[in-house]
Structure 1
Amino acid sequence: MKRAALYVIAGPVGIAAYGLVRLWGRSDGVYGPGLDWQAAHLVGLAGMVFFVPAVLALSRLLPRSPWRNGVVALTLVGLAATMVQFGADIVEGLLAADRAEMSALGADFKDIPGVEVVFYDVVPQLFFLGLVVLAGMLAARRRLPWWGVPLLLTGTLLPVVTLDLLPIGGLCMLVALAPALPALRRQGERVEPPVAVQ
């Protein structure tokens, strides 16, 4: 399997794995700080990192245009904000001795002007919005089936209801994007024609 296709798989799998490790960590009634908190957030951060090349690869299935570039830029900005959020959670988990101290550290970080809007409430949502719009553009070009768009939207909205639905959300995202894998593999197999020797 070509690397681009692997990234498209790894991103949603990272989200689903984050949800599963989180559920495991919460099963004893004590979640964070500790190994379970760090493991969940490291897996989630890895998923976000994999989404960067995945978004770029999916965008290359579309013709170049300012609209495509704008959607990709907004999606990557949202991803960057989400990565900062995960990074902050990891650092707070490392510094805190207990849940109360971790919550206090998180509150201190959010009290910095602009942090809550940029890294929590607004900008991270651009990743999910941009990914759904990108899927819609791919569906319009028949690179994805029409049902991939509502399924992807469902996958992004389920965690809003409750984070316990993260594993199902990640699975929905994976199934929605999987039909693009053959096109990504074919794209990776393309080679430039040899230059004729004069």
Structure 2
Amino acid sequence: MKRAAFFVIAGPACIVGYGLVRLWGRSDGTYGPGFDWQAAHLVGLAGMVFFVPVVLALAGLLRPSRWRTSVVAVTLVGLAATMVQFGADIVEGLLAADRAEMSALGADFKDLPSVEVVVYDVVPQLFFLGLLVLAGMLAARRLLPWWSVALLLAGIVLPVVTLDLLPLGGLCMLVALVPTLPALRRDAARTHPETVIGSSLLESP
């Protein structure tokens, strides 16, 4: 449970961090390439990596079904595309001498067949859609309050309005997912009872 709890908190927290570092980098009008660009995108990439175990942990709370498997698969495909996008931004930032060259490198990458659709415009959105569907499925089983689904949707939509709202969006996602922690603890106790018993013995006076 401790690992699942860490990722449930760390994933959205990294989105908050990405947004804050991005705002700091833009404050002097020279965001990218440079330390601020790399720091922001590395934090964002870490967040996407952390969301992999989050998706798997949330899915583990649901009964096995083809629908659950399909939603998880779609969500992870979206996550993979998002990771590639962050990775490309990091590489372009390393190779470019200035903003204009970085933009040119980005345009060259997008010109490759299917890259714009797969890495930028369509496939990454599957992560957010899949996460929202998982939240809805958990809410239907009363493992998550319905307000969490609405808050998660707000967290997804806010950065679409403007990336400057990324910190607020990440915070909304964090608050939305925190109510899953008790269910994850119960699931861990059911799956690994010896761990819980050992912890109880260690905590006994």
Report the TM-score when normalising by structure 1: 0.95
- Give the CA deviation at 1:186: 2.3
Query: Partners in 1 of 2:31 and 2:193 — Cα distance?
Result: 52
Give the letter for the 1:124 counterpart: P
- Give the CA deviation at 1:192: 5.8
Give the letter for the 1:3 counterpart: R
Report the equivalent of 2:105.
105
Q: CA RMSD in A?
A: 1.0
**Structure 1 unpaired stretches of 5+:** 194-198
Q: Does 1:163 align with 2:163?
A: yes
Report the equivalent of 1:196.
none
- Give the CA deviation at 1:79: 0.2
Report the equivalent of 1:178.
178
Query: Partners in 2 of 1:156 and 1:143 — Cα distance?
Result: 21
Report the equivalent of 1:18.
18
Q: How many residues align?
A: 193
Query: Partners in 2 of 1:65 and 1:187 — Cα distance?
Result: 18
Report the equivalent of 2:9.
9
Structure 2 counterpart SS, 1:29: coil
Query: Partners in 1 of 2:188 and 2:87 — Cα distance?
Result: 32
Query: Partners in 2 of 1:5 and 1:62 — Cα distance?
Result: 17
Instruction: Confirm or deny: 8 A CA contact 1:2 1:184 kept in the other structure.
Output: no
Report the TM-score when normalising by structure 2: 0.92
Report the equivalent of 1:134.
134
Identity %: 81
- Give the CA deviation at 1:157: 0.5
Give the letter for the 2:19 counterpart: G
Pairwise mapping of residues 52-67 of structure 1 onto structure 2 (< 5 A)?
Answer: 52-67=52-67
Report the equivalent of 1:95.
95
> Per residue, is there more helix in 1 or in 2?
2
